[in-house]
Amino acid sequence: MRASSKALLIGILAVATISCGSDTTTTDFNATLVGGGEINLQSELQKSPVALWFWAPG
């Protein structure tokens, strides 16, 4: 593997590691559920990890 390829790979891994870090500062975020109702991100994060899927019907 060439030095430039190794440097690129290390850079990508560093950015991925930093961006996946745990951040305990969250803002209040409410989202409307597809089936109706709302979800509050902060209260859900206290229970378990949350995955957000942003979808807009075409």
Q: What is the dihedral of CA 29, 20, 44, 50, to 10 degrees?
A: 100
pLDDT on residue 52: 79
Predicted local confidence at residue 2, as pLDDT: 79
- 25-56 pLDDT tens trace: 656 788 888 888 998 888 888 898 888 777 77
At 54 the pLDDT is 78
